[in-house]
Copies of this chain bind each other. A is one copy, B any other.
Amino acid sequence: MRFISQASSDGVTEQLFTLGEIPGVLWTPDGAAGSRPLILMGHGGGQHKKAPGVVAHARRFVAECDFAVVAVDVPGHGDRPEDEEYNRIATENQARAEAGEELAPLIAGFQALVARQTVPEWQAVLDAVQRLEHVGAGPVGYWGVSLGCGLGVPFVAAEPRVRAAVLGLGGAVASAEEAARITVPVEFLVQWDDERVPRAASLALFDALSSAEKTLHANPGKHAEVPLFELDSSLRFFTRHLS
C-alpha cells in the first residue's frame, strides 16, 4: 500500500493511495488514532472513487460518526486503464440490446463477471486498510448502489467482516443466489420510477436477501434521484450496527 497524497479539510483527512494496481482513497477523522468502524463504498457505473455522491457520504460518515471510509476505482473506471475484455463484452452487450435483447440481464451478467475481480480486490483493500494504526480491525460496513449494488451483493455475501450494508438501485437478475447468502442487516434503496431497474426486479432482490433485519426504502423519482434524507438514514443505520 503506497500513499500518494494527503489533504485535510473540515476535520476530515483524505489520503490517496495505490494498492498494487488499485487506486484508492481513504478518509479518516483528522488526528485519528486507534481502531474504528470502516465503511467500504462502491461507486456507480461510469463514476469513480471520488465521485461527488461518494465523497458527500464519506465525509459525513467520518465527520459525524468518527468512522473511516475507503473507496477504490472499479476496473475500467477512474484512474484505472480501460480493460479490453470488459470493453469487448460491453460493446457486444450494446449490440445485443440494440438487436432487441432485454438490457437488465445483460447488465447483471456483466456485473457478475466484474465482481469476480472486484470481490478479491476489495478484500485485499480491507486487509491493507485495517492494518493501518488509525483504522484498525473494527467492524466493517458496505455502502453501494447501482453498479455498487451489483458488485456489492457478491462482496457482502463473500466477506464475513462486513456486518451491515446499504444496497439498492439494483435488480435480482444475476445476484439472487448471492443475495440469499447475505444475513447481515441491510438497508435497501429503491427508486420508485427507476428507468433502469424494473421495480419488480428491485423488490425481488430485496426479497432474496436472507437478512433477518432488512429495510426497503422506496422513494419517488428516477435512478439518480435518491433524496438527500436517505444519506441521514444510512448514517443512522451504520451507527446502529457498527458503533
Copies in the complex: 2
A214 to B227, CA, bound (A): 10
Output the nearest chain B residue to A212 by Cβ-Cβ distance: B220
* A-side interface residues, number (CB < 8 Å): 19
Output the nearest chain B residue to A219 by Cβ-Cβ distance: B215
User: Smallest CB–CB gap between A2 and chain B, Å?
Assistant: 41
User: Smallest CB–CB gap between A169 and chain B, Å?
Assistant: 15
Interface residues in A187-243 by Cβ distance below 8 A to B read 190, 192, 206-207, 212-220, 227, 229, 232-233, 236, 240
A190 to B236, CA, bound (A): 20
Given A229-B240, A236-B232, A218-B216 contact (CB < 8 Å): yes
Which of chain B's residues have a CB closer than 8 A to the CB of A190?
216
Output the nearest chain B residue to A209 by Cβ-Cβ distance: B220
A167 to B207, CA, bound (A): 22
CB pair B214–A219 under 8 Å, yes or no, is yes
Given A229-B240, A232-B236, A236-B232, A216-B214 contact (CB < 8 Å): no
Which of chain B's residues have a CB closer than 8 A to the CB of A215?
217-219, 227, 229
Which of chain B's residues have a CB closer than 8 A to the CB of A219?
213-216
Which of chain B's residues have a CB closer than 8 A to the CB of A236?
232
Q: List 24 A-B contacts (CB under 8 A).
A: A190-B216, A192-B207, A192-B216, A206-B218, A212-B220, A213-B219, A213-B220, A213-B227, A214-B219, A214-B220, A215-B217, A215-B218, A215-B219, A215-B227, A215-B229, A216-B216, A216-B217, A216-B218, A216-B219, A217-B217, A218-B218, A229-B240, A232-B236, A233-B233
